[in-house]
Amino acid sequence: MWIKCLAHSNNPPHNPRRPRRLIAAPGAFKHALTAAQAADAVAHGLRRSGWRDVLAFPVADGGNGTLECFLAHGGRRITTPARDALGRQISSAFGVLPDGHTAVIEMALASGIELVQERRATHADSYGTGQLIRAAMDANARRIIVGLGGSATTDGGAGCLRALGVRLLDSNGQDIPPGGAGLTHLARIDASGLDLRLRGIEIIIAADVNHPVVGSRGAAAIFSPQKGASPAEVKLLDDNLHRFFSLVRDQIGVNVLTTPGGGAAGGLAGGLLAFTSASLKPGIDILLDSCGFDKALEYTKGVIVGEGRLDVQSLGGKSPIGVAKRASARRVPVMALCGTITAPPNALRQAGIRAAWSIIDAPMSMGEALRRSGELLERAAFRLGQTLAINSPNKSK
């Protein structure tokens, strides 16, 4: 059915204004390909099949690879020192977009779980992310996009806020220890030292989850086990987040305990919402808006999305679905190339994906599939390009 949707019946005369571009807009294939590598593989396969006008448009939803995706469309990367989630000095980076005043911060590049070998969920701290925000302000950013995802932390953003000037004190007036476990000792919040520059800066939190900071669907319950927390530590972290944000409510006058999305990145979203003028938006929408995706769709015949696993969680707002909604709203067909596909076909169609294929074309182990992901993705794109050409005989003109 989807081939028919792409076809021009009875082969009408060539029209130079007819859309001929294909957009390769995949996200990362976890443990195998970055979004940029995946986009290049898809684009190369389509070009080998005969399509000349192919736009590589790597996408991310706020997590790992977000900075790379923004900079793929222009801007510069600025290297800066920061602390990782366990307090060690590392070399990190943020980006400045072509407008010169918008900075992009990827939390995973400072407080990310992939930067630390030890999974110490109770001690992991978001201080490094605050250092990146401070560095962006030093670079005269007036708008800061903070991509949340891939974090090692469950501290409610306490570390980030401390890097920005907030003091978190125990009953003796001393600074509490870092990490989610340190919040056990919290008695008073002193926000008098919060960096004054934050008042004049627009902060946009890019996230793809709508979980609150606490409770059965909160940051600790849902995400801290994958960061190394035991059942007892999950309870400790949830109790401490409740303690922290209750004190924020009572002492600062801002209640984010039940705010949808406040639990993103171990509650960092909630911390930024409480102490700055930040707003929370789907990460994929921020990227698409900032990088001109809607404009690119004007002359596009089809969009190819993809990620390692297209499943029910993907339907909750991951990058392929965000792209599909944009494109399908403009009647541009969307197809998916993925490692594995478990999402129900009807649900994919409702989300705007006309058809989806696995790139695995022969029996193989998971290890082999991961090693060969680039090759398999390019070959799948080549086959897809040939199929689309059946009813597009002038595709290369």
The pLDDT tens digits of the residues spanning 225-258 come to 999 999 999 999 999 999 999 999 999 999 999 9
Q: Are residues 226 and 257 in the same domain?
A: yes
Give the tens place of pLDDT for each residue, 251-303.
999 999 999 999 999 999 999 999 999 999 998 999 999 999 999 998 899 99
Residue 125 scores a pLDDT above 60: yes
**132 closest CA partner among 176, 81, 173:** 81
Q: Are residues 223 and 268 in the same domain?
A: yes
Helix (H) or strand (E) holding 130: helix 127-138
pTM, two decimal places: 0.87
- Determine the Cα–Cα distance for residues 197 and 188; give it in Å rounded to an integer: 23
The reply to whether 3 falls in a domain is no
Q: Are residues 103 and 213 in the same domain?
A: yes
| Residue 354: φ, ψ to 5° | -70, -40
Q: How many domains does the chain have?
A: 2
Written as six digits, the tokens of 31 are 């443990």
* pLDDT number for residue 397: 38
Give the tens place of pLDDT for each residue, 183-209.
999 999 999 999 999 999 999 999 878
| CATH number, residue 207 | 3.90.1510.10
Q: Are residues 48 and 83 in the same domain?
A: no
* pLDDT number for residue 40: 96
16 falls in which pLDDT band (50, 70, 90)?
Answer: very low
Written as six digits, the tokens of 123 are 């001690």
Helix (H) or strand (E) holding 264: helix 264-275
For residue 351, the enclosing domain spans 21-57+291-389
- Determine the Cα–Cα distance for residues 157 and 276; give it in Å rounded to an integer: 12
- Determine the Cα–Cα distance for residues 7 and 43; give it in Å rounded to an integer: 21
Residue 355 scores a pLDDT above 50: yes
End of a domain among 284, 316, 334? 284
Q: Are residues 151 and 258 in the same domain?
A: yes
Mean pLDDT of the residues in the chain: 90
The reply to whether 9 falls in a domain is no
* pLDDT number for residue 18: 55
The reply to whether 82 falls in a domain is yes
Q: Are residues 31 and 129 in the same domain?
A: no
Q: For residue 323, give Cα distances in angstroms to 14, 51, 70, 289, 320.
A: 29, 21, 15, 11, 5
| DSSP-assigned beta bridge partners for residue 105 | 146
Written as six digits, the tokens of 309 are 């696993």
